[in-house]
Amino acid sequence: MFAVANKLREAGVLGLNERNVDFITRLNPRRLYPRVDDKALTKELALEAGMAVPELYGIIRHQREVRAFADIVGERNSFVIKPAQGSGGDGILVVIGRSQRRRNFYRLSSGVLISAAEIAHHISNIVSGQYSLSGNPDKAIIEYCVQFDPVFADVSYQGVPDIRVIVYRGYPAMAMVRLPTRASDGKANLHQGAVGAGVDMSLGETLTGVLDNEVVDEHPDTGALVSGLRIPQWNFILHSSARGYDVTGLGYLGVDMVIDSEHGPLILEMNARPGLSIQIANCTGLASRIARIDEIHDEKAGPEERARLARREFPAERQTSIEF
């Protein structure tokens, strides 16, 4: 038992207790939580900072504004409606088109047609707080519907593949790609059976995947190889993640990004207590990277500089260090 603990310690694996005591309570002050828990606020801050997020069409804050929905959407054919404080993907409505004959009927990603009145009812429910964990009145966000880049098409089963980057004190420390499976029901959550693939920080290339704590080479549903995929605009992804720190002020941050075929990487949301499974996906401990970041930490370094250092410092082990 202690032997295993020592090995993990040597491998620099971060445990939940250490994460909570040393990083979350120390680096993530409570008062900053709303910046990531409220997606409307996150978006606002990200936009102010000029970061790439899915384009915001509008926010509905009160019941009386629900009718404004049609004006917000205008002539657009696809969009997403989601609660600002929702969790676990509850209450998200993805509209991918309209009925050919009647413009006020919308087609959902599942293929179902619903009327504008039904959408208004859904928004009304969101605003009343039905999907908010606290039960408080919420806001409905209407935004651009991401058109997924085909890079992960072969290794995803429906759903939303995304990229999670752990940012420690502004420095990207580790990343993984989360690939939905049939078992995970289209969700990109490792708990539910999604495949997590580690990412070589210096190249932006996927490593082997992990499914339920076991190493896998192929996607269980599509059979395609998980490793060796080049993530487009990797530099920009690291750069954006690093800026997530400047925007939120959270020293231990998880940044979730998706890649749009047209707009490139977009920040979907940020997380003040990102999980530790990323270590398994990368077969590497976070603690050793964190220790390295503490060594090279420079208060004055900008996000570009921090992203560059992350690429230099954290290549996958099979690679030799590359100078940038």
The site for another protein (CB under 8 A) is made up of 1, 4-5, 7-9, 11, 13, 15-18, 21-22, 87-88, 90, 125, 128-130, 132, 134-135, 189, 191-193, 213-215, 276, 279-280, 283-285
Read off the DSSP letter of residue 66.
Answer: G
Shortest approach of another protein to residue 65 CB, angstroms? Answer: 19
Which strand (E) or helix (H) includes residue 236? helix 234-248
- Residues 256/163, Cβ–Cβ less than 8 Å: yes
Shortest approach of another protein to residue 83 CB, angstroms? Answer: 13
| CA 317 to each of CA 19, 201, 229, 282, 320: distance values in angstroms, whole numbers, following the listed order | 23, 10, 17, 10, 7
Shortest approach of another protein to residue 50 CB, angstroms? Answer: 33
- Residues 177/294, Cβ–Cβ less than 8 Å: no
Shortest approach of another protein to residue 127 CB, angstroms? Answer: 11
- Residues 56/84, Cβ–Cβ less than 8 Å: no
Nearer to another protein by C-beta: 144 or 252?
252
Shortest approach of another protein to residue 138 CB, angstroms? Answer: 11
Measured in degrees and rounded to the nearest 5, phi and psi for residue 42 equal: -55, -45
Nearer to another protein by C-beta: 35 or 122?
122
Query: Could you give the angle at the alpha carbon of 254 between the alpha carbons of 253 and 260, nearest 5°?
Result: 135
Q: What is the CA radius of gyration of the chain?
A: 20
Nearer to another protein by C-beta: 179 or 309?
179
Nearer to another protein by C-beta: 49 or 283?
283
- How far from chain centre, in Å, is Cα 214? 22
Nearer to another protein by C-beta: 47 or 183?
183
> What distance in Å separates the CA atoms of residue 39 and residue 290, rounded to the nearest whole number?
27
Read off the DSSP letter of residue 15.
Answer: P
Shortest approach of another protein to residue 189 CB, angstroms? Answer: 7
Nearer to another protein by C-beta: 42 or 279?
279
